[in-house]
């Protein structure tokens, strides 16, 4: 599987894991640019979409986040890495299944 394919698989797994909160979240950052290109009436620019290896998700301040997002992500194969370097505390979520494959798989 190529790196772009792994990115798409990991992103699809993230979207699936966050399904209970779809009405309250927005994908922002590089994935927003990539997803915008999939809209049927999009006029594609001549340059590639801005891209990073992470997916950024934003929730409104008034969002009622019922359930446990962390548990949903963990069940989907993601793991959390907390950083004490940021105030407030931040977390980076890694998709374990994408890192388990071998380069030749």
Angle at 66 between CA 60 and CA 72, to 5 degrees: 100
| 8 A C-beta contact, residue 71 and residue 18 | no
- Joined together, the tokens standing for residue 61 give 């301040």
The 10s digit of each residue's pLDDT in 71-104 is 998 899 888 777 667 666 566 677 665 444 434 4
pTM above 0.85, yes or no: no
Decide: 59 and 42 in contact? Cβ < 8 Å: no
pLDDT at 65: 81
Q: For residue 18, what pLDDT is reported?
A: 93
């Amino acid at each position: 599987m190529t790196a772009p394919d792994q990115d798409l698989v990991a992103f699809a797994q993230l979207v699936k894991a966050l399904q209970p909160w779809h009405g309250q979240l927005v994908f922002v950052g590089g994935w927003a640019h990539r997803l915008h290109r999939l809209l049927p009436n999009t006029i594609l620019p001549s340059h590639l979409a801005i891209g990073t290896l992470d997916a950024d998700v934003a929730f409104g301040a008034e969002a009622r986040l019922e359930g446990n997002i962390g548990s949903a992500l963990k069940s989907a194969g993601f793991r959390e890495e907390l950083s004490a370097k940021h105030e407030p505390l931040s977390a980076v979520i890694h998709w374990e299944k994408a890192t388990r494959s071998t380069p030749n798989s």
